[in-house]
Amino acid sequence: MIDLYTWGTPNGHKAAIMLEETGLPYQVFPINIGTDEQFHPDYVEISPWSKIPAIVDHEPMGGGEPYRVFESGAILMYLAEKSGTLMPQEAGARYEVLQWLMMQIGGFGPLMGQLGHFEMFAKEDIPYAKKRYHTEVDRLLAVLDDRLEDNQFMAGDDYSIADIATFPWVRFSDKVGFKWEDFSNVKRWIDVIEARPAVQKGLDVV
Ligand SMILES: N[C@@H](CCC(=O)N[C@@H](CS)C(=O)NCC(=O)O)C(=O)O
């Protein structure tokens, strides 16, 4: 059994979708980041940066004591390795997936997160910040759209942890100032992923 500590945000959805896709048994422990539950000392033991998601695997690979994993990218890699799915074994194909995964971890996640903050939640209107993050996310969306012109999924023909990581962030692009008609390949990819039953279940977990 795997314990999933999560909340209904894009980073949380990545882990829930992955667990649904792999079919690994799991139970959910909601961590309400709106009421600061992420700072509870018991949770900090699992996730030292007080962020969701995190997992604890009670039957870790290789046996032994329950094993905790924080950082959503590491969680996706761990679950891919444990389940033998959604990340190829062969080095070339594997690193194709990992490059696109890292572009989400270092790019889409933080930059889209900041854009969403300044567009939707900031108490002050700061045009410089909005423009800065809009420009950076626009660059990322253009790269993704170009990639998806000749590839069904981010790493090629096969759906992978790179798609699972990126989809929850990119699906709200139209809410932060982008038009789907400018990124039609991304929209096609969003629709394909959104139609997967495991994705629907993962999005509903919290
Ligand atoms: N790099 C981390 C980021 C996780 C993250 O930013 N989680 C947010 C929710 S989407 C969170 O826990 N925020 C609560 C806080 O910052 O206190 C990951 O990919 O797991």
| Rounded-to-integer distance, Cα 65 and Cα 136, Å | 42
HEC letters along the chain: CEEEEECCCHHHHHHHHHHHHHCCCEEEEECCHHHCHHHCHHHHHHCCCCCCCEEEECCCCCCCCCEEEECHHHHHHHHHHHHCCCCCCCHHHHHHHHHHHHHHHHHHHHHHHHHHHHHHHCCCCCHHHHHHHHHHHHHHHHHHHHHHHHCCECCECCCCHHHHHHHHHHCCHHHHCCCHHHCHHHHHHHHHHHCCHHHHHHHCCC
Sheet holding 67-70: strands in order across? 26-30, 2-6, 54-57, 67-70
Averaged pLDDT, 21-46? 98
- The CA radius of gyration of the chain, in Å to the nearest whole number, is 17
Q: What is the 102 CA–ligand 1 centroid distance (Å)? A: 16
For the chain, residues classed under CATH 3.40.30.10 are 2-86
The CATH T-level fold of domain 2-86 is: Glutaredoxin (3.40.30)
pLDDT of residue 141: 98
Residues 6+ apart with CB under 8 A from 184: 145
| Mean pLDDT taken over the chain | 97
Across 59-63, 79-83, 102-106, least confident range: 59-63
Q: Which atom of ligand 1 is nearest to the CA of 39?
A: 17
The verdict on the CB of residue 11 being under 6 Å from ligand 1 is yes
Ligand 1 within 6 A of CB of 50 = yes
Mean pLDDT, residues 79-85: 97
* 62 vs 107, more confident: 107
Q: How confident is the model at residue 15 (pLDDT cuts 50, 70, 90)?
A: very high
Identify whether the C-beta of residue 9 lies closer than 8 Å to the C-beta of residue 52. yes
The token duo for 23 is 């079919």
- pLDDT at position 150: 97
Q: What is the pLDDT of residues 159-184, one digit of tens each?
A: 999 999 999 999 999 999 999 999 99
Q: Could you tell which of 37, 47, 51, 75 is best to mutate to test the pocket of ligand 1, judged by most ligand atoms within 8 Å of the CB? A: 51
Distance between first and last Cα of the chain: 18
Taking only the tens place, the pLDDT of each residue in 129-166 is 999 999 999 999 999 999 999 999 999 999 999 999 99
Cα(51) to ligand 1 centroid in Å equals 4
CATH 1.20.1050.10 segments of the chain? 91-196
Q: Tens digits of per-residue pLDDT, 38-62?
A: 999 999 999 999 999 999 999 999 8
Arch. (CATH architecture) of 91-196: Up-down Bundle (1.20)
Residue 135 burial class via C-beta count within 10 angstroms: exposed 0-12, middle 13-18, buried 19 and up: exposed
Residue nearest to atom 6 of ligand 1 (CA): 51
Q: Which atom of ligand 1 is nearest to the CA of 50?
A: 17
Enter the pTM of the model.
0.97
φ, ψ dihedrals at 47, nearest 5°: -130, 90
